[in-house]
């Protein structure tokens, strides 16, 4: 009986010690959240295996301790030589219809390592916009979808209006004949290239939308493509640069790849209507700006295989794969997520916690857990 009681007491003490180690680790997470409340993408602290790692022994001679670190979450690397035509991305991933890809084109480097042990760094953010000399983002259909469907004749049909009898409807957004000139009240009944008379010629297009993207900073300054531009002669209202500023169409890159991309030479317009290249917009942005880019895939995602007439083959696309290649000097494009790692100790027990948070979702908080010593 005494042995059973002794074992039960020992097990109880072990459970209690394990709980104390866990709560010590949880306290480290709270410290990390407190530090992150003043910072944004790209911020980090020394890792757990360095002497300068954030740590706390809770003072008072107790046997509690923890150590914790904050890092910008890094995706898995891209497969070497997996993309065509010399495209070698640094970041890769998958994106489903309706999902948004967010890129932070800046780093927060506010003295991440200049904090004494046992302290929390809450210095103000020191934003540095990335000095991008190259940026290319590609989306492609999964290779298994392409290989099983016939690459050469596979085309995007996001509005599902492909006519198998006439062969029309792929890579367009309706009957091209409906996108003609129209007399509008605001034009004094003069024929203008504005199909719905909403004073937006740039949206009346025979093209299927595929990727919608936008770049903006904290001041509201923004840059985006002229979505839906007509694929005809340049319009005076667009400074003779209307054609080619619109959606992107997927192209056959060969060897089982059907992809579409954008880069710094692509042109778009700013919030004040100025038409310029992506590179020009970045160069005109303040060096301490929180410049962020959002890319949205249009849903639904449907492809058709025109190689099998007269039967139409509609193919659902489960997701797009994306790759991002860039040159930002010695900087990296930070992932929008932070990873917090915390280790708590009590006696011989250790507990670890790893969690991810988004910048801007952290708040200065105080969470007290009281355990009798």
Query: What whole-number distance in Å separates Cα of residue 343 and Cα of residue 278?
Result: 44
**Range ranked top by mean pLDDT from 70-79, 194-203, 351-360:** 351-360
Is residue 13 included in any domain, yes or no?
yes
Distance between terminal CA atoms of the chain?
A: 29
Kindly report whether the peptide bond that precedes residue 154 is cis, defined as omega within 30 degrees of 0: no
Instruction: Tell me, yes or no, whether 196 and 289 share the same domain.
Output: yes
Instruction: Tell me, yes or no, whether 153 and 208 share the same domain.
Output: yes
Instruction: Tell me, yes or no, whether 203 and 305 share the same domain.
Output: yes
Instruction: Tell me, yes or no, whether 308 and 361 share the same domain.
Output: no
Q: What is the DSSP letter of 251?
A: E
Is residue 161 included in any domain, yes or no?
yes
Is residue 254 included in any domain, yes or no?
yes
DSSP reduced 3-state for 128? strand
DSSP helix, strand, coil percent of the chain (3-state; round to 5)? 15, 30, 55
- Residue 184 domain boundaries: 129-326
Q: How many CB atoms lie within 10 A of CB 219?
A: 11
pLDDT at 198: 60
Min mean pLDDT across 9-23, 50-64, 86-100, 138-152 is at 138-152
Count of domains for the chain: 2
The per-residue DSSP string of 262-316 comes to: EETT-EEEETTS-EEEHHHHHHTS-TT---EEEEEE-S--EEEETTSTTS-EEEE
Per-residue pLDDT reduced to its tens digit, 160-177: 667 777 766 665 544 444
The per-residue DSSP string of 313-335 comes to: EEEE---EEEEEEEE-TT-----
Q: Is 60 exposed, middle or buried (0-12, 13-18, 19+ CB in 10 A)?
A: exposed
Is residue 86 included in any domain, yes or no?
no
Instruction: Tell me, yes or no, whether 349 and 322 share the same domain.
Output: no
- Percentage of the chain beyond pLDDT 70 is 68
Nearest to 261 by CA among 276, 273, 251, 275: 251
pLDDT at 351: 93
Instruction: Check: CB of residue 130 under 8 Å from CB of residue 109.
Output: no
The tokens for 277 are 């290249």
Q: Tokens 């002497």 identify what position? A: 51
Query: What whole-number distance in Å separates Cα of residue 35 and Cα of residue 42?
Result: 13
Report pTM.
0.71
**Contact partners, residue 7, CB within 8 Å, separation at least 6:** none
Instruction: Tell me, yes or no, whether 269 and 372 share the same domain.
Output: no
Per-residue pLDDT reduced to its tens digit, 135-155: 999 988 887 777 766 555 667
Instruction: Tell me, yes or no, whether 142 and 289 share the same domain.
Output: yes
Q: Tokens 């062969």 identify what position? A: 167
Instruction: Compute the average pLDDT of residues 210-217.
Output: 82
Kindly report whether the peptide bond that precedes residue 300 is cis, defined as omega within 30 degrees of 0: yes
Is residue 285 included in any domain, yes or no?
yes
Instruction: Tell me, yes or no, whether 199 and 303 share the same domain.
Output: yes
The tokens for 335 are 């992932």
The tokens for 161 are 């209006």
pLDDT at 11: 65
Q: What is the DSSP letter of 176?
A: G
Instruction: Tell me, yes or no, whether 19 and 133 share the same domain.
Output: no
pLDDT band at 324 (very low <50, low <70, confident <90, very high): very high
Query: What whole-number distance in Å separates Cα of residue 371 and Cα of residue 304?
Result: 63
């Amino acid at each position: 009986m005494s042995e059973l009681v002794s074992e039960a007491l020992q097990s109880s003490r072990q459970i209690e010690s394990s709980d104390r180690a866990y709560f010590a680790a949880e306290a480290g997470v709270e410290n990390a959240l407190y530090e992150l409340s003043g910072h944004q993408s790209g911020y980090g602290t020394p890792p757990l295996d360095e002497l300068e790692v954030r740590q706390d022994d809770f003072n008072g001679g107790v046997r509690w301790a923890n150590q914790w670190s904050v890092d910008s979450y890094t995706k898995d690397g891209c497969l070497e030589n997996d993309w065509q035509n010399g495209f070698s991305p640094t970041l890769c991933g998958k994106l489903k219809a309706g999902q948004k890809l967010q890129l932070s084109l800046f780093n927060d480097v506010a003295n991440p390592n200049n904090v004494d042990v046992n302290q929390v760094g809450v210095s103000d953010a020191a934003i540095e916009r990335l000095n991008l000399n190259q940026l290319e983002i590609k989306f492609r259909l999964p290779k298994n979808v392409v290989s099983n469907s016939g690459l050469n004749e596979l085309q995007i049909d996001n509005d599902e209006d492909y006519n198998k009898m006439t062969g029309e409807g792929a890579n367009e957004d309706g009957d091209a004949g409906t996108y003609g000139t129209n007399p509008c009240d605001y034009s004094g009944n003069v024929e203008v290239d504005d199909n719905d008379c909403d004073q937006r010629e740039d949206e009346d297009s025979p093209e299927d939308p595929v990727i919608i993207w936008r770049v903006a900073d904290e001041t509201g300054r923004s840059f985006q493509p002229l979505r839906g531009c007509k694929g005809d002669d340049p319009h005076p209202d667009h400074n003779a640069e209307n054609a080619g500023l619109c959606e992107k169409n997927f192209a056959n890159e060969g060897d089982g790849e059907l992809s579409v991309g954008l880069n710094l030479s692509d042109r778009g317009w700013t919030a004040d209507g100025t038409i310029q290249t992506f590179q020009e917009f970045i160069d005109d942005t303040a060096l301490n700006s929180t410049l962020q880019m959002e890319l949205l895939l249009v849903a639904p995602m449907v492809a058709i295989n025109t190689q099998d007439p007269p039967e139409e083959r509609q193919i659902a696309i489960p997701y797009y794969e994306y790759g991002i290649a860039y040159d930002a000097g010695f900087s990296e494009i930070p992932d929008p997520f932070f990873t917090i790692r915390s280790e708590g100790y009590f006696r011989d027990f250790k507990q670890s916690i790893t969690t991810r948070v988004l910048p801007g979702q952290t708040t200065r908080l105080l969470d007290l857990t009281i355990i009798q010593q």
